[in-house]
């Protein structure tokens, strides 16, 4: 016979309580704790001319949402040079990356020669795989090292942050 534990609970009840607590802790690492900061599937990127041949890519709702304190999508840019185009950020998913790719021919007939990833966060580089292999991917060597070593970890983080239904790509996104 088992004697009651000092708290007055049987060992079976304590095991159930411990199991439930462990499950809650594990789920907190897997499930988002809050809604995504922005919905990647609802963003429409627009090009804003900053100077001759220099464009910012921003969400079409940035003018209303930002002043109201509502988080907006990642931003990027397009710079049109004499011989080609430099794109800044390839975005989180195929939907957003294709919007970047669609903007370029609206601005110029020159080819995309470079894609700059400013940081190793997935929402800045997951779209790399959609750009032509003739485009050179430029990123800091530490970002490349991080992606090489922790791609799956970063991908899980981004899915947890942004949601599983935003089209976060697999390993092909790490092309450079």
Domains of the chain: which residue ranges? 1-31, 45-174
- Residue 71 neighbours by CB under 8 Å, 6+ apart: 37, 38, 65
Average pLDDT over the chain, rounded to whole? 81
Give the integer Cα–Cα distance in Å for 115 and 60: 22
- pLDDT attached to residue 92: 86
Give the residue, 40 or 56, on which the prediction is more confident: 56
Global confidence as pTM: 0.73
The pLDDT tens digits of the residues spanning 71-125 come to 677 789 999 999 999 999 999 888 899 999 999 999 999 999 999 999 888 888 8
Residues 6+ apart with CB under 8 A from 146: 120, 154
* Residue corresponding to tokens 């509502």: 70
Q: Which CATH number, 3.20.80.10, 1.10.275.10, 3.60.15.10, 3.40.50.300, labels domain 45-174?
A: 3.60.15.10
For tokens 């003018």, the residue is: 63
Nearest to 40 by CA among 141, 165, 134, 170: 165
Candidates 74, 97, 76, 75; CA nearest to 86 is 76
């Amino acid at each position: 016979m088992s004697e009651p534990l000092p708290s007055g609970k049987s060992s079976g009840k304590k095991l159930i309580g411990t199991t439930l607590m462990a499950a809650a802790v594990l789920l907190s690492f897997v499930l988002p704790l809050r809604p995504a900061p922005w919905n990647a599937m609802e963003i429409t990127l627009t090009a804003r001319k900053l100077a001759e041949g220099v464009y910012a890519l921003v969400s079409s709702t940035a003018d209303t949402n930002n002043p109201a304190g509502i988080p907006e999508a990642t931003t990027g840019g397009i710079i049109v040079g004499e011989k080609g185009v430099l794109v800044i950020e390839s975005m989180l998913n195929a939907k957003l990356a294709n919007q970047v790719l669609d903007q370029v021919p609206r601005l110029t007939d020159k080819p995309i020669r470079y894609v700059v990833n400013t940081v190793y966060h997935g929402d800045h580089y997951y779209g790399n795989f959609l750009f032509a292999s003739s485009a050179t991917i430029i990123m800091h060597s530490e970002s490349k090292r991080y992606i090489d070593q922790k791609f799956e970890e970063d991908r899980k983080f981004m899915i947890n942050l942004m949601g599983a239904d935003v089209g976060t790509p697999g390993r092909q996104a790490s092309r450079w």
